[in-house]
Structure 1
Amino acid sequence: MWQRTFLILHGVENRRPEDHWQHDLAQWLRSRGEQVFYPQLPDPDRPSPAAWTEAVEAELGMMRGERVVVCHSLGCLAWLHLAAGRPGGPPADRLLLVAPPGPSAFSWDAIAPFTPGALDLASLRLSAAPPRLVCSDDDPYAPEGAATAYAGPLSCEVDLLPGAGHLAVADGYGPWPSVRRWCLDGTHRLTADRPH
């Protein structure tokens, strides 16, 4: 019986490249004998909230034990939409939201359908434990600040990483030891301790 299962959700235009911290995280967790789901979500260049949430629900149906979910970028918004469509309990036990796009990003037509504008963020039950939000102070996809947009309404614990951009490959986020530690211990605060 699995004691826990990890689900890793990528963002727009992401085809799970090997040099991304999420790919590294999936491989690292698997090397430790953990059960990991890291699906390629449908049509990553022109994503649909319905298609993405349907794909995520299918993954959730296979999870056993403690359900630990790690989302990056648009994957965070897919999770919010999934939670909004679920009348029952929270769909995860622990949740990490990394660099969700801010409200102004949804003027980009490729992700406009994922806008959180119609969601009552304060009413969403995202995870059994308080969700953790990790973001930077200079994310080009959240110029207003992801912490400002999401932390309060979602009752998130926040780790703000100065100068970390979108916490993507271009910002130096390949292997990221801090996110590995959080996966094993949800009390760990995330830091910009990536190898250089």
Structure 2
Amino acid sequence: MWTRSFLLLHGVTNRRPAGHWHHRLSLALRERGEQVFYPQLPDTDRPTLEGWTDAIRAELALMRGERIVLAHSLSTIAWLHLAAAEPAPADRVVLVSPPGPSAFDWDVIAPFAFDHLDLGAIRLAEKSARLVVSDADPYRPEGPGYFAERLGIDADIVPGGGHLTLDDGYGEWPSALAWCLDPEARFTADR
């Protein structure tokens, strides 16, 4: 029986390409005998907040043991909305590259805007939550400290990492696997 399970959540327009760190991480975890959920979220080109949060809830219901979530980009914002409605929906969570408020001028993701959420009051996870951001993310010109300060969580800042995507060189990402296996591990620029 599994003592933990992992849920990997992608961003807008992401169709889970084989080279992306999420895809490689899912394979590496499965090779170690871990239970991994890596769903294609609905309507990836024109997502709806309700569609994504419903899909995430459905995946969470399937998980067994310690529930560990790694969300990237727009799915981090979906997680904020979910956690605001249902405090601590997982045991551990890492939010990687959340887009900043200025990104929501794009009509495709505008329905995910979080300006009405009290970020400081959201309980993201039962045991621990971490933020991983780059100091050079084009989708968060507000800077790397924006979410860490408002959410009151620990942050790992990856120098020059862009949006931490495959296009930014993040296919293989050993520190993501290290964190999955040890919540004390830090995310770094290794790739």
AA in 1 matched with 2:64: R
| Residue correspondences, number | 191
Where 2:50 maps in the other structure, the secondary structure is: helix
For the residues of structure 1 that align with 2:120 and 2:164, how far apart are their CA atoms?
25
**Is it true that 1:44 corresponds to 2:41 in the alignment?**
no
1:66-105 to structure 2, matched below 5 A, reads 66-86=66-86, 89-105=87-103
Output one character per residue of 1:103-152: Cα deviation in whole Å (capped at 9) or x when no partner. 1100011111111101111111110223111111110000112x332112
Amino acid of the structure 2 residue aligned with 1:99 = S
The whole-number CA distance in structure 2 between the counterparts of 1:70 and 1:154 is 17
SS of residue matched to 1:163 = coil
Could you tell me which runs of 5 or more consecutive residues in structure 2 were left unpaired when the two chains were aligned: none
When the two structures are superposed, what TM-score results if normalisation uses the length of structure 1? 0.95
Q: CA deviation at 1:153?
A: 2.0
Q: 1:118 aligns to what SS in structure 2?
A: coil
Quote the RMSD (CA, aligned, Å): 0.9
TM-score, with structure 2 as normaliser = 0.98
Find the residue that maps to 1:131 and give its secondary structure.
Answer: strand
Q: Deviations over 1:172-193 (max 9, x none)?
A: 0001001000000000011011
Give the Cα separation in 2 of the matches to 1:7 and 1:166: 20
What is residue 150 of structure 1 aligned with on the other side?
147
Partner Cα separation in structure 1 for residue 110 and residue 125 of structure 2: 25
Q: Kindly provide the CA deviation profile for residues 21-73 of structure 1, in whole angstroms up to 9, marking residues without a partner as x.
A: 00000011011100000000000010000000000000000111111000000
Q: Where in structure 1 do 4 or more consecutive aligned residues deviate above 4 Å?
A: none
